A and B are shown apart, each in its own frame.
Chain A
Amino acid sequence: EVQLLESGGGLVRPGESLRVSCAASGFTFRYYWMTWVRQAPGKGLEWVASINLDGSEKYFADSVKGRFTISRDNAKNLVDLQMNSLRVEDTAVYFCARVDSSGQEDSFDIWGQGAKVTVSS
């Protein structure tokens, strides 16, 4: 079964750091770009970051640029989101998703169940 499973969410104070991880299974992980999308309480979906096949290209939303990093380990089928200098407005459920690049434009075809991150003093 194709699956993504996030871990590592939790409660942190403003300014602190947190890493969320996503374990992939059921497909050839190294063949796919991966992405992170978040959803703040009561809000819509917001793309956060994406990483290419070998980790050499990384893209970030302006709202997290310079504070978040994305990385992957193709040997372990893992993609991580390292979040530094966290702000209250980073409070959200963080989803990892697989990028399907087979079409004319990329879409996110497989999603994890989400990891809840709360930033509060």
Chain B
Amino acid sequence: EVLLTQSPVTLSLSPGDRATLSCRASRSDRFYVAWYQQKKPGQAPRLLIYDTSIRAAGIPGRFSGSQSGSDFTLTISGLEPEDFAVYYCQQSGAFGGGTQVEIK
């Protein structure tokens, strides 16, 4: 069973800032994650990135994903007001605990 640890739990930033979200996988033999955005609890999540670095349809270019070993990163370059939300990584069905990006 894979365990995904996201950090930080909360990220306080201003519009226009760069956001760097991390996701560490417990298994080093899996090479891909997906990232989701959820704007409000109970609201449907939206797929942002799949296969670690491929943007889903309609996702703006300011969202990017990368990997180094079992560490995966979601970067938002230039936060827009609509980007303040909770972000989850996922691998083999399992989800990380989430990172909330809040307005500073």
Q: Chain A residues in contact with chain B, CB under 8 A?
A: 35, 37, 39, 41-42, 44-47, 50, 59, 93, 95, 100, 103-109, 111-114, 116
- On whether the beta carbons of B34 and A104 are closer than 8 Å, the reply is no
C-alpha spacing A116/B42, complex, angstroms: 9
- On whether the beta carbons of B88 and A45 are closer than 8 Å, the reply is yes
Given A45-B95, A111-B44, 10 new contacts (CB under 8 A): A44-B95, A44-B96, A44-B97, A47-B95, A59-B93, A103-B32, A105-B50, A107-B34, A108-B34, A108-B90
* Complex interface: chain B residues within 8 A of A109 (CB): 47, 50, 56
Interface string of B4-42 (1 = CB under 8 A from A): 000000000000000000000000001111101010011
Q: How many residues of B are in contact with the other chain, CB < 8 A?
A: 29
C-alpha spacing A32/B98, complex, angstroms: 27
* Complex interface: chain A residues within 8 A of B62 (CB): none
The chain B residue sitting closest to A109, CB to CB, is B47
C-alpha spacing A50/B92, complex, angstroms: 12
* Complex interface: chain A residues within 8 A of B45 (CB): 45, 95, 108, 111
Question: Is B103 among interface residues, defined by CB-CB distance under 8 A?
Answer: no
Can you offer 8 A-B residue contacts whose CB atoms are under 8 A?
A47-B95, A93-B42, A103-B54, A105-B30, A107-B34, A109-B56, A112-B44, A113-B44
